[in-house]
A and B are shown apart, each in its own frame.
Chain A
């Protein structure tokens, strides 16, 4: 067991897996010598050599496209897109190629790879260092989508993603790289070392894909969240003295519907939380699934808490961000109905 922040946990997952499996190659912009702009791949080139971990040209289409070729050869690329906001030049390769190659070749070719990318806002990154594009990938058949919310899961999920036979999008909420964030931007930041889930086992372990985690037991309503919003939701639930059951989805696709259904059928109420823009977001999918499967147990309409349908505005970060007030009002609304 070692106390680690998210970056250190992610870094360790790479190291553990690269030691076990020499078909893993890690590349992306600035990931080689420097170890990435967030340092998630720090020291890997020094340990494993330049052909296992290296800098890529600034071409997201090239990074994903060459990863496809490497996977076709039999390697296991674990690639970094520097910011999720910059994934779009690689979108065609991801959506039209990575996602579909198993299907279109009837399983002759497969695309085991992990596409990691820091994502989400809350760091004054403006329009292009803040986006949460997860729904663009859950919408697209053939991709798994994972979003960890703490160091323990980050390492275990990344190892599971690397071991998965299918392509996995692995979005890392950069706001919580160094410490959990409760949504109170006006309060001092707590480091991960003060949080129980920064106790990260050494060596190999995995957190299964497709398994959610009930992070708080409760009876009054079910709150579904992932990434940074798990912490924001937990804080709002505590601050408002609500007996909520909070579920950290951890994997959006495949989704742990069993855990969700069990909880919603028990509480009869459901609030879905995402940081991304509202319209056609993953929260909409969750609300629909809950409505389809738990309708006769519901005592109130399923409510969504989301970002607004605008680009992420630099100065208005905390008006945009779905923070404590938006959550409090939504909790109230779901409980009152």
Chain B
């Protein structure tokens, strides 16, 4: 420590800045200080423009849907009504799915669950804007990618229950999906690891002269990991055909985005330092998300380089089933969030277009509810977590290596013998 008997009296005392979120439990949230530019205001650079042309957009906010539910400005992707309705349906499905699986965890049917409430537009619109053959390197809040790409809800649920229908054979924590066919790379529990992996996949695609691109996903909190920096550096150096998304939902468990640096600069503006194109986008506006991802994919696909996109949104629910946000943030923040509910906004847009009405909306809600419940019923026929853990013990020793070495074979036999002893019967 500084020697207290010899202070430096003519120098100012240094002070450490520790960021503090604007509201804590007991406060009334008021987000009026957040600058929300009008929809349609942000310019849309040419997809082949220099990265520099996008830098003003890193502190702006690309928005398409206005307060009346109209699509306005240069970023309007002018989607047909069927695509809009499909996105609405997918977003609603994700929300209902989240709700059912959250409850299933509360009922003791599985160990863990994570919702993406309030963030549904991001993964759904991104998946819709990209090619089905493009590869995603997601984190745990992009279940919408699978839903939009038509992955069976029942299989997702089987993974959550770690049951007989789980393609990952009960090895992974619930929601850590993986499916190559649907362009969905295995989710890791270790934050940030997927980000440079996305860049590497994109580099490989370029090495091979392929036409597919990759998209990496990360949360605002996890941008602090070194892997974020590695990804940005490699993407910039090799001009990899990759889209790097930062889902800024304001919270990382109990830490607000300021703990990841958001007090000093937007996440999108990190692109500037690497010379990568950057966009900051209203993540609760499905059309803006679609337009931004479409722009970035065209750019990547035409060898114009990577794009980093910050999706500005809000984590409306707790971090996971293990979390109670009332311990660290003010009540009512989600309701006060100035960018609204992405599902309500897309619905309003369809209504404004004359392509949707309350009757159809109610019918759709009912249909989704029936579909999700049916999937859940079917998934539960294949078992729930508390019934698992003994039915296929040998599988637990497979895939550690391509072939099972002697020591694992021995351990497998020992595990089987133990289970027989514990159960008093053959563990099959």
Residues of A within 8 A of B323 (CB): 37
Beta-carbon contact of B419 and A278 below 8 Å: no
The answer to whether the Cβ of A30 comes within 8 Å of any Cβ in the partner chain is: yes
Q: Does B337 contact A (CB under 8 A)?
A: no
Q: B173, A30: Cβ atoms under 8 Å? A: no
The smallest beta-carbon distance between B114 and chain A, in angstroms, is 12
Contact yes or no, A51 B259, CB < 8 A: no
Please give, as numbers and ranges, the residues of chain B lying within 8 Å of A170 by CB-CB distance.
none
Known: A128-B173, A129-B173, A315-B389. A55 touches B254 (CB 8 A): yes
Interface contact A127-B255, CB-CB below 8 Å: no
Instruction: Establish whether residues A23 and B1, one from each chain, have CB atoms under 8 Å apart when the complex forms.
Output: yes
Q: Is A235 an interface residue, CB under 8 A from the partner?
A: no
Q: Is A135 an interface residue (CB 8 A)?
A: no
Q: Indicate if A191 sits at the interface (CB-CB under 8 A).
A: no
Q: Is the CB of A58 within 8 A of B397?
A: no
The answer on a CB contact under 8 Å between B254 and A51 is no
Say how far A94's CB is from chain B's closest CB, in angstroms: 14
In the assembled complex, the Cα of A30 lies from the Cα of B322 at a distance in Å of 14
Is there contact, CB below 8 Å, between A315 and B388?
yes
CA distance A30 to B327 in the complex (A): 12
**Of all chain A residues, which has the CB nearest B221?**
A58
Q: Are B112 and A124 in contact (CB under 8 A)?
A: yes
Which residues of B lie under 8 Å from residue A54 when comparing CB positions?
18
- Could you tell me the distance between the alpha carbons of A171 and B353 in the complex, rounded to whole angstroms? 59
B188 contacts across to A, CB distance below 8 A = 128
With contacts A29-B253, A62-B224, A88-B190 taken as known, whether A310 is within 8 angstroms of B397 at the C-beta atoms is yes
Q: Is A141 an interface residue (CB 8 A)?
A: no
- Closest-by-CB residue of B relative to A126 is B173
Taken together as a complex, chains A and B put the C-alpha atoms of A149 and B284 apart, in Å, by 47
A295 within 8 A of B: no
B259/A56 in contact, CB under 8 A: yes
CB-CB under 8 A from B190, the residues of chain A are 85-86, 88-89, 128
Does A75 lie within 8 Å of B260, measured CB to CB?
Answer: no
- Residues from chain B with Cβ under 8 Å of A128 in the complex: 173, 188-190
Q: A326 to chain B: which residues have CB within 8 Å? A: 414, 418
Surface stretch bound by B, among A194-202, A221-229, A281-289, A317-325: A317-325
Chain B proximity of A235: nearest CB distance (Å)? 15
Q: Given the known A-B contacts A75-B1, A86-B190, A310-B397, are A315 and B385 also in contact in the complex, defined by CB atoms under 8 Å? A: yes
Say whether B389 contacts A317, CB under 8 Å: yes
B172 in contact with A127 (CB, 8 Å): yes
Q: Which of A29, A32, A89, A325 is within 8 Å of B422, CB to CB?
A: A325
Chain A 273-310: CB-based contact to B (< 8 A → 1; otherwise 0): 00000110000000000000000000000000000111
Q: How far is the CA of A337 from the CA of B334 in the complex (A)?
A: 65
Kindly identify, within residues 234 to 283 of chain B, every residue whose CB is under 8 Å from any CB belonging to chain A.
252-255, 259-261
State which residues 1-39 of B face A: CB under 8 Å.
1, 16, 18, 20, 24
- B162 interface residue (CB < 8 Å to A): yes
Query: From residue B395, how far is it (CB to closest CB) to chain A in Å?
Result: 8
Q: Is the CB of A89 within 8 A of B173?
A: no
In the complex the two chains form, what is the Cα distance from A34 to B252 in whole Å?
12
The CA of A285 and the CA of B366, in the complex, are separated in Å by 61
0/1 interface trace, chain B 153-177, chain A, CB 8 Å (1 if under):
0000000001000100111111010
Given contacts A308-B411, A319-B418, A325-B418, contact A59 B224 (CB under 8 A): yes
Q: Does A61 contact B (CB under 8 A)?
A: yes
Give the nearest-CB partner of A320 in chain B.
Answer: B396
Q: Say yes or no for B421: interface residue by CB 8 A criterion.
A: yes
CB pair A311–B407 under 8 Å, yes or no, is no
Asked if A314 lies at the interface with its beta carbon under 8 angstroms from chain B, I say yes
Is the CB of B382 closer than 8 A to any CB of chain A? Answer: no
Give the complex CA separation of A36 and B224 in angstroms. Answer: 18
Residues 371-428 of B contacting A (Cβ, < 8 Å): 385, 388-390, 393, 396-397, 400, 407-408, 411, 414-415, 418-419, 421-422
Q: Closest A-chain residue to B319, C-beta based?
A: A37
The distance from the CB of B188 to the nearest CB of chain A, in whole angstroms, is 7
Indicate if the CB atoms of A51 and B16 lie closer than 8 Å: yes
CA distance A79 to B255 in the complex (A): 16
For A37, A60, A127, A314, the residue with the greatest tally of chain B CB atoms inside 10 Å of its CB is: A314
> Cβ of B172 and Cβ of A319 under 8 Å apart?
no
A61 closest partner in B (C-beta): B226
Q: Is the beta-carbon distance between A57 and B261 smaller than 8 angstroms?
A: yes
Cβ A309 vs Cβ B400 within 8 A? yes
Quick one: which of B20, B166, B226, B396 contacts A89, CB cutoff 8 A? B226
Bound form: Cα–Cα A29–B393 in Å = 36
Q: Please determine whether A309 and B411 come into contact, CB atoms closer than 8 angstroms.
A: yes
- Whether a CB of chain A sits under 8 angstroms from the CB of B222 is yes
Cα A13 to Cα B389 with chains together (Å)? 38
Residue A43 CB within 8 A of the other chain: no
* B189 pairs with A129, CB closer than 8 A: yes
Q: Is the CB of B189 within 8 A of A51?
A: no
Q: Is the CB of B171 within 8 A of A311?
A: yes
Contact B418 A314 (CB under 8 A): no
**CB within 8 Å for A329 and B172 given contacts A86-B191, A308-B397:** no
User: Which residue on A lies nearest to B391, using beta carbons?
Assistant: A315
Residues in chain A near residue B356, CB distance under 8 A: none
How many angstroms from the CA of A229 to the CA of B7 in the assembled complex? 52
What are the residues of chain A within 8 A of B225 when measuring CB–CB? 58-61, 89
* A55: chain B residues within 8 A (beta carbon): 18, 254-255, 259
Chain B: CB-nearest residue to A329: B418
Contacts of A311 in B (CB 8 A): 171, 400
Decide: A126 and B393 in contact? CB cutoff 8 A: no
Minimum C-beta distance from A155 to chain B (A): 24
Residues of chain A within 8 A of B24, CB atoms compared: 33
How many angstroms between the C-alpha atoms of A126 and B173 in the bound complex?
5
Q: Are A124 and B222 in contact (CB under 8 A)?
A: no
Q: Per-residue 0/1 for B187-203: is the Cβ within 8 Å of any A Cβ (1 yes, 0 no)?
A: 01111100000000000
Q: Which of B192, B253, B255 has the most CB of A within 10 A?
A: B255
Q: Mark A111-139, 1 if CB is under 8 A from B, else 0.
A: 00000000000001111110000000000
Give 5 closest A-B pairs by Cβ, nearest first: A128-B189, A315-B170, A126-B173, A57-B224, A34-B254
Known: A89-B227, A128-B190, A309-B407. 9 other contacts (CB 8 A): A33-B328, A50-B18, A54-B18, A57-B261, A58-B224, A58-B255, A309-B411, A314-B171, A319-B418
- Name 21 interchain pairs, CB-CB below 8 A, sorted by A: A23-B1, A30-B253, A32-B255, A33-B254, A34-B254, A51-B16, A58-B225, A59-B224, A62-B226, A89-B190, A127-B173, A127-B189, A128-B188, A278-B407, A278-B411, A310-B396, A314-B171, A315-B389, A318-B389, A326-B414, A329-B421
List residues of A whose CB falls within 8 A of some B CB.
23, 29-30, 32-34, 37, 50-51, 54-62, 73-75, 85-86, 88-89, 124-129, 278-279, 308-311, 313-320, 325-326, 329
